[in-house]
Amino acid sequence: MTHQQDLKVLIPSLSFDLKPGDKLALIGEEGCGKSSLLNWLRQPDQPLPYVEVTGTCSNAFGRTVWIGQTFPAQDEGLTIEAYCFDPVLAEQIDYGYFYQLVSQLGFDPDRLTSQQLMGTLSGGEKLKLQLARNLALEPDCLLLDEPSNDLDLATLGWLSRTLASLPAAVLFISHDEAFLSQVANRILHIETINNHKGSRVQLVNMDYETYRSQREAQFQRQGQLARKQQEEQAKQEARHRQMHDKVQHQLRQAHDSSLGRLLAKKMRNVKSVGRRLERQAEDMLEIPIQEDAILVKLPCPHPLPSSKWLINEPDYVVRLEGRALTQPLTLEWRGQEKIGLVGPNGVGKSTLLKQVRDWLTDRPGIRLGYMPQDYRQVLPQDQTPLDFLQESGSQEEKTKLMTYLGSLRFDPDEMRHPISQLSGGQQAKLLLLKLNLMEVNVLLLDEPSRNFSPLSQAEVRQIFGDFPGAILAVSHDQLFLDQVCDRCLALEPAEKQ
């Protein structure tokens, strides 16, 4: 798989099979080609935007279904009823099973005949209906791109158990470590190497937690061995330099011809040792680079006082177009507090975050940063990363920004690609860098961990955990909630008794 614009090879070589019962997780750093590979496997005969694939794919499964990262644009204008009771699928779907799935997913079956447009549903509600419709087709192969995105914690647990127990084959991409640990029994890792200049593919028949721990242990062992080799090499080279300088000095001082011949022979031996040390250095292990490291921090030079009220609404109801979404809640948030917003899909968590954004925008002393679920809201897709980040347009600023982007593993070509051609994870990194440059002291985050590699998740949590400012975050990631947030605020649906 090769990127068409800069001819960068994303996947040099890959051969694998998928059997009934396999739960194969596709993991890798942002921009490594995971979604493109899944898209190609879905329709090998169809050309893909931005990438060129050479190879073949044979699919002997009877029915393969696909759920992508984003809801199909052509279905946004359908009513819930039209989407769920599509006449094209009517003869293929077991509607008894469909209703059962809808209930298990926590979606009200009475809404299935609603004339509400699919485009007005929350991301989680759309995904629930996608899952119910596709699972009711009883496929024997599922291709899923980030199926855990947007789902509330209860539904996420149900999906993990359901996929793990399916007799069907599942090939899926996920950033969620807990989801990976509960579902995957095989791992396909597209790994960047040589400081992001190349890649390799590893296929292992083990669960995610075993793979992660073995990889981490191997990384530590290689690092220790490489450092030991480097220390020993440095000692040998130091001894060699001393011997070389000593013999060279003796040669300069020698007046006896026979002594000079002996010293010249000795110098040839010393130079031979030097050449051997050079060859030895070429064969040494390199200290491994954490290729999926994010390498960005969020400085906060102007934190708000911890006692300062950002919001103090003791009896607040989240409303959308006049309709109450939640029961009354106590909405209190101070200057250095980190709060996680949790609750079922469609309860209004993202709506609340946008309302808080409106309240805090242009408030004196507040430097507000916002990371939405859909990066298109804040990242102009036709601009390049450099265009987006530049303020003054000076060469000095451009050089500095290229250094920053390089530390985030953007190569020079990617810095000049339109943002629309970057993966979701690369766009997330770009947004993090923008927040870094803004020196924000208040962050509003909507599913902040959703597009990062699972092997980067611990670093993502540390970045936000170390941030000394205030955070209000919507998240369904239990580890993020546990390790970053001081407390959680649960939103309850308005109709719940």
Cα angle 117-489-492, degrees, rounded to a multiple of 5: 45
| Amino acid symbol at 361 | T
Instruction: Please list, residue by residue across 196-235, b when 16 or more beta carbons sit within 10 angstroms of its beta carbon and e when fewer do.
Output: beebebeeeeebbeebbeebeeeeeeebeeeeebeeeeee
Supply the pTM of this predicted model.
0.74
374: left (phi over 0), alpha (psi -120 to 50) or beta: beta
Residue 294 in contact with residue 452, Cβ under 8 Å?
yes
| Amino acid symbol at 176 | D
How far is Cα 3 from Cα 48, in angstroms, rounded to an integer? 10
What percentage of the chain has pLDDT greater than the value 70? 97
How far is Cα 361 from Cα 367, in angstroms, rounded to an integer? 8
pLDDT digits (tens, 9 = 90+) for 266-301: 888 988 988 888 888 877 767 666 655 677 889 888
How far is Cα 478 from Cα 85, in angstroms, rounded to an integer? 34
pLDDT < 50 stretches in the chain: 497
Backbone angles phi, psi at 210, to 5 degrees: -65, -45
Pairing of strands 487-490, 338-342: parallel
How far is Cα 485 from Cα 338, in angstroms, rounded to an integer? 5
Beta bridge partners of 141: 64, 169
Burial tier of 341 (Cβ tally within 10 Å: 0-12, 13-18, 19+): buried
pLDDT digits (tens, 9 = 90+) for 8-28: 888 999 999 999 999 999 998
Q: What is the pLDDT of residue 497?
A: 36
How far is Cα 470 from Cα 464, in angstroms, rounded to an integer? 10
Pairing of strands 329-334, 309-316: antiparallel
